Chains A and B, each alone.
Chain A
């Protein structure tokens, strides 16, 4: 029972926040947004494997 409680409490953290005057964002949210933008750009520029085989 206490194990359960401790396990649950252990998951709660303040998180790390970045901010530029008036604007703040939590590190996890920032990472997810940056990853999405990188994937978007990669999807546009990377060649698709096997693209030459069939035309």
Chain B
């Protein structure tokens, strides 16, 4: 690890003496997700592909879903079911949901066929699955809020299924007020939280290299836990004690980074 000082903050990034929970949390966070990994300015060349755009497409649609949803909720059904502007905003809300699911499904197909869960990214995949499931429940409660014959039909079909699995008393599709709370607060917060976690995990692991690069890419080799953890402390400690082995690991100034030595 490079013992850099963060300019302006005064505290070293990697201080070993963090002795409070807060200090340890800060050390853990900075190690897991240093600022230049959280907000990188460069990406590997293989990210120059439409295959990596659909995650952001889903985020963009989600943002419009939330903004239009706030406008709908604040004006109320008398507005969005009757006035033409209200109906229009209501429609943009529905169509951004359609786009959200389209982008999300294309995203998950692409990630599946690129095997993007490799290299310790299982939790990224799993948070993706959870966001998919929670989004479906959120969309379902949205359809119920239409308060038309469609939503009545959907509700009374769903009621039997929900009762059959035993959650009907807590998740009651015949209780419109309860559904409003689910749809405008709890489920959007849940979707938002899972998506934030998902994107943070993508940043923690970096973008998965294409399958063909799996054998040669420094990033992927680097993310395998055992060799990376074993190699670093040994190399860092060596030069001081064993000058004889200088020819083996080449004492360049950046010798701590194993990347330069690979091939």
Contact = CB atoms under 8 A, between A and B. Distances in A.
Nearest to A53: B48
Given A32-B102, A39-B106, A12 B149 contact: yes
A25 interface: no
Given A7-B82, A32-B98, A36-B105, A12 B50 contact: no
Interface residues of A, number: 21
A48 interface: yes
B17 interface: no
B51 A44 contact: yes
A40 interface: yes
Interface residues of B toward A: which range? 20 to 34
Given A39-B102, A44-B51, A46-B50, A7 B87 contact: yes
B110 A9 contact: no
Given A4-B78, A39-B54, 18 more contacts: A7-B81, A8-B81, A8-B146, A8-B148, A9-B148, A11-B146, A12-B148, A36-B102, A36-B106, A39-B106, A40-B106, A43-B49, A43-B50, A43-B54, A43-B106, A46-B50, A48-B48, A55-B45
Closest 3 CB pairs of A and B: A8-B148, A43-B50, A51-B48
Interface of A: 3-4, 7-9, 11-12, 32, 35-36, 39-40, 42-44, 46, 48, 50-51, 54-55
Interface of B: 45, 48-51, 53-54, 77-78, 81-82, 87, 98, 101-102, 105-106, 109-110, 146-150
21 contacts: A3-B82, A4-B77, A4-B81, A4-B82, A7-B81, A9-B148, A9-B149, A32-B101, A36-B105, A39-B54, A39-B102, A39-B106, A40-B110, A43-B49, A43-B54, A43-B106, A44-B50, A46-B50, A48-B49, A48-B50, A55-B45
